[in-house]
Structure 1
Amino acid sequence: MGKSVCFDVLGTCFSFEAAIDAIEDRLGPRLKAIGVDPKTLFFSWFYAAQRDFTYTSVVGAYTPIAEVLKHTLKRACYIVDLPREQAPTEDDIAAVMKAVTSLKPRPGLKKCFDGLRTAGWEVYGVTNGGKETSLNYYRLADIALEPDHLLSCDDVGAAKPDFRVYTTANKHLTFQGVSDAEGDRWFVAAHAWDLIAARKTGFKTAYLGDEEHDAVPEIFGQFDLYLEGMEDLLEKLKNLD
């Protein structure tokens, strides 16, 4: 087999608008009263959950990210000064978590996956999210992705950016017969912290600016490609020597 590309899933392949909209629907008036918008609450919640997901993994107490998210939404609301008597109810939390399992694809994602495969690339996913939830994102987007082409951190028992996730991905690619020649294995993410670990484990790296909007090279160094979106990624990967 020829070249391969591993995609991060949450925030890279699928955007968070559905979850932000659910927060607006369930908590909007309560948040407006304290001057907090749903997008700000979402990302303060999600980034703190990613931190806790990673830190619990570091100390040997790995917990699936969906569980971390479910149990920390109230805390996120308290941190932005939502009164406790207005905290999310169990129904509110369930509605937001349902939206988290129904994220929509980034523009051009299907065209990118289909185009890469047509050009002879093997396409994989490597995600902090649960395996079945992540596979369902692709099903809902009408994008084919076989279970053996998706690695979840739950399978490894470690959170990205733990090197074990990327070395496991590399071993799986080798098992699948994917080329390990210099420059043949790529990792795509919308998070610089994800790509520094991928780079250190031998992947070429491609940064999508959809979520962070700034790769902060002063901290994370230089990546091999910087992209404006999925169609830009498709064209640049197809044109590699």
Structure 2
Amino acid sequence: MPSSKNVVFDIVGTLVSYDVLFDAIDEQMGDRLRAEGIKPTLLGYTWIEVAEREYTYLSISGQYRSFVTCFELLFWRMLHMAGISEPRRFATEKDLEFIMKRYGNMGLRPGAAECVTKLREAGYTVWAFTAGDLARVGGYFANAGLEWPAENLLSCDTQGIGKPDLRAYQPLLEQLSQHGRPWFAAGHMWDVSAARCAGYKSAYCSIWEKEPIPELFGEMDVMAETLPEMADKIIAAQ
């Protein structure tokens, strides 16, 4: 049963870092990529961003596919767009398998566990609402030793509607709003600004994007540079 104080978190990119993914690309393909003038981290970032776009476009056109499916299948296209003329000669299925396995074992960001603990100790029920699949995202928490009840972990896969479609945020918002207006917290400005439009109170942490760009997305109710600071500001604003 939700309490009167609830915070819904985006997970991948917010509480979970992409560093393991970037390191996997570098470990498996870094020398080959750098020989072509391609930075492994930039390839990884671009791959994530393009996958988010295609995932969203498929969702809004009624052709929902899971994010991890989009991400994996776009690998060869990303190499082509990075300037590799023959991606399937340049890289192998084993390269992709190695990277995807590491992708399934990414870790928490600095301060993530402290952030969640602060909120729980202040009486908040903490929720996860992710575009990722439940097994993989649940594994991130389990591997980090951060307890997360299964009933408080939700995925866009269940509805077949991807964020930032406002309809994606509505079911949990309606459930939690019976107990007071909930917060939505994210490290993606597009995500938290959409949640704000849907009706949540908004909390943004710049730990991932660095530049909030309020000129594009607007000002959020809470803005912070670290996850623990964001928790403190949410608690203070209640």
TM range (shorter): over 0.9
Residue 61 (str. 1) matches residue 58 (str. 2): no
State the Cα distance separating 1:25 from its structure 2 match: 1.1
Match of 1:220 in 2: 217
- Stretch of structure 1 that moved more, 126-135 or 109-118: 109-118
Give the partner amino acid of 1:233: M
State the Cα distance separating 1:171 from its structure 2 match: 2.9
Give the partner amino acid of 1:56: L
State the Cα distance separating 1:228 from its structure 2 match: 1.1
Match of 1:31 in 2: 33
Distance 2:232 2:23 in 1: 32
Match of 1:138 in 2: 141
User: What do the CA deviations read for 1:97-126 (whole angstroms, capped 9, x no partner)?
Assistant: 111111110111111112211110010011
User: What do the CA deviations read for 1:119-153 (whole angstroms, capped 9, x no partner)?
Assistant: 10010011110011111111111111111101101
User: Aligned match of 1:89 in 88, 92, 95?
Assistant: 92
State the Cα distance separating 1:179 from its structure 2 match: 1.6
Distance 1:118 1:218 in 2: 34
Distance 1:230 1:149 in 2: 19
Q: Indicate the percent of aligned positions where both proteins have the same amino acid.
A: 33
Give the partner amino acid of 2:217: F
Q: Secondary structure at the match of 1:239?
A: helix
Q: Secondary structure at the match of 2:168?
A: helix
Distance 1:151 1:165 in 2: 11
User: Aligned match of 1:206 in 185, 203, 207?
Assistant: 203
Distance 2:91 2:175 in 1: 41
Distance 1:107 1:16 in 2: 12
Give the partner amino acid of 1:109: A
Residues 203 and 234, structure 2, Cα contact 8 Å, conserved in 1: no
Match of 1:104 in 2: 107
Give the partner amino acid of 1:199: R
Match of 1:19 in 2: 21
Distance 2:175 2:102 in 1: 31
Residue 164 (str. 1) matches residue 167 (str. 2): yes
TM value normalised by structure 1: 0.93
Q: Secondary structure at the match of 1:226?
A: strand
Distance 1:6 1:212 in 2: 19
Residue 179 (str. 1) matches residue 179 (str. 2): yes
Residues 125 and 149, structure 1, Cα contact 8 Å, conserved in 2: yes
Give the partner amino acid of 1:134: V
Match of 1:9 in 2: 11
Residues 222 and 234, structure 2, Cα contact 8 Å, conserved in 1: no
**What is the total number of aligned residue pairs between the two structures?**
235
Give the partner amino acid of 1:179: H
Distance 2:236 2:58 in 1: 41
Residues 108 and 230, structure 1, Cα contact 8 Å, conserved in 2: yes
TM value normalised by structure 2: 0.95
Q: Secondary structure at the match of 1:24?
A: helix
User: Aligned match of 1:148 in 147, 151, 164?
Assistant: 151
Distance 1:185 1:124 in 2: 10
Compared CA separation, residues 43 and 105, structure 1 to 2 (3 A): same
Residues 131 and 152, structure 1, Cα contact 8 Å, conserved in 2: yes
